[in-house]
Amino acid sequence: MVTTFNMLGSSVQSALMNPKFIWKAAYTSILVFGAFHCTKLGIALAGSSLMSRFGKPTLVRETSKIHSNNYLLLPFVYMRKQILMRMKRTEKDLLEGVILEKKLED
């Protein structure tokens, strides 16, 4: 076990002492980072263009989004949205029984 850690430590030390290896590692990590974000952006643009051609209008699509970082909470978020939509009252319901002037009641 000690021999294994000594071998790993010496290989890591030799890798970190080699400037050529450090430059290659930095360059590769920058390329991977850029490729990831370019792919993410490309997929988002393709999705938005498909939604604009075949989906809902932009305003409806933006206002009907449900966001959650925790995927286990999404069923509860959808259920809450449905309950709130059912509880939403119209203007007629809100003004029922309100008398602004006595003349209007007659």
Tens-digit pLDDT string for the chain (106 aa): 878 888 888 888 888 888 898 899 999 999 999 999 999 999 988 988 887 777 666 565 556 666 667 777 778 888 888 787 777 766 666 667 676 776 766 5
Rounded to two decimals, the pTM is 0.42
* Cα 17 from Cα 24, distance rounded (Å): 13
SS3 70: coil
Residue with tokens 């059912």: 86
73 within 8 A of 62, measured Cβ to Cβ: no
Among 62, 67, 34, CA closest to 48? 62
Among candidates 81, 47, 36, which has minimal Cα distance to 63? 81
| Inter-residue contact 58 to 52 (CB < 8 Å) | yes
Cα 32–Cα 34–Cα 30 angle in degrees, nearest 5:
55
Token reading at 49: 């263009």
